[in-house]
Structure 1
Amino acid sequence: MEVPSLIRPVATLVGWTFFMEAWMYKTRLPALKGVRLPPNTTKQSMNAHIPSEVQWKADNYNHLHEAPTRFYAIALSLSILEVASSSGTDLDLENKLAWGYVGVRVAHSLVQAVTNVIPIRFGLYILSEVTALGLFGRLVYALV
């Protein structure tokens, strides 16, 4: 069975999200060890007991469930519509945009999880949005 080319970047970003989840728990659970919180505590109360560099990973994990949802919808729609090239190469525009999006989201994750420099993160976020908008433009073009 031939796998539509846009499924690979989708699967890669899903895999990256699982990686970030593991990294989050690897740092967050030890940070909460010994902290006694009431069972009905708020997120803000719990986060007050966690160092910022630990919380950055959790924030990024949450971000990977927000903005990329549009990417998933667009890439899967393009795959269903068979807009992506079936030539077997990764040289078509849709694949370049999809892999670019994944690369920028991974870079965004690393910046947020390690240093959390806001101007760099924001620049990467804008770049990911422009890339997603390009993919969306291809979807609109395919639908018209």
Structure 2
Amino acid sequence: MNVLYPVFVMFALTFFVQIQLGMKRVAAVSGGRIDPKYYRAYQGADEPEDLQIYSRHLINLYEAPVLFYVIVIIASVTGQAGTLPILLAWLYSLLRLAHSYVHLGSNKVLLRFRLFLASLLVLAALWGTVLIGMLMR
């Protein structure tokens, strides 16, 4: 198994959310829910709540996951992509999928927070595992 496969999962998730957001924005403008001028500088009347949720979620996919991409590349380049890092990488990507499902679906805040926190802990464990492996080499 390759440690890079979960990166493709994260790419697919990010790409999916980006496309969904674009389609929702087009529908909102076409349906008269928001003035297209809003998107010139993102000022004026607020976006409808569903668009705000998708926008915020997309931004979130460019925050902590960046640290995931970095550590997976480090693990791959340094030869630290053994069983545990691979399992942690898969667990991280699956937790992020679950987080997205909740955030863009029911949006139950406590469940969403728990999934986010779990993903951060897994990410920290992945960083620690790779670092220890590098130090012991």
**Aligned Cα root-mean-square deviation (Å):** 1.8
CA 1:32–1:71: 2 relative to 1, 3 Å = same
Residue of structure 1 equivalent to 2:127: 136
Structure 1 residue 45 corresponds to structure 2 residue 44: yes
Separation (CA, whole Å) in 2 of partners of 1:79 and 1:44: 43
Letter in 2 for 1:79: S
Please report the TM-score for the alignment, with normalisation by the length of structure 1. 0.83
Residue of structure 1 equivalent to 2:29: 32
Aligned-residue sequence identity (percent) comes to 28
Separation (CA, whole Å) in 2 of partners of 1:39 and 1:15: 25
Separation (CA, whole Å) in 2 of partners of 1:8 and 1:39: 35
Question: 8 Å contact 2:80–2:134 — kept in the other structure?
Answer: no
Separation (CA, whole Å) in 1 of partners of 2:129 and 2:9: 21
Q: Which SS does the other structure have where 1:45 is aligned?
A: coil
Structure 1 gaps, min length 5:
86-91
Q: Which runs of 4+ in 1 moved over 6 A?
A: none
Q: Among 59, 73, 76, which residue is 2:73 paired with?
A: 76
Please report the TM-score for the alignment, with normalisation by the length of structure 2. 0.87
CA 1:124–1:32: 2 relative to 1, 3 Å = same
Question: 8 Å contact 1:101–1:132 — kept in the other structure?
Answer: yes
Per-residue Cα deviation, 1:66-121 (whole angstroms, up to 9, x for no partner): 11000000011001111123xxxxxx111111000000111111111122221111
Separation (CA, whole Å) in 1 of partners of 2:39 and 2:99: 33
Residue of structure 1 equivalent to 2:90: 99
Structure 1 residue 10 corresponds to structure 2 residue 7: yes
Q: Which SS does the other structure have where 2:44 is aligned?
A: helix
Structure 2 gaps, min length 5:
none
Q: Which has the larger helix fraction?
A: 2
Within 5 A, what are the aligned runs for 1:51-130?
Answer: 51-85=48-82, 92-130=83-121
Separation (CA, whole Å) in 2 of partners of 1:51 and 1:131: 33
Q: Figure out how many residues of one structure are paired with residues of the other and give that number.
A: 132
CA 1:99–1:44: 2 relative to 1, 3 Å = farther
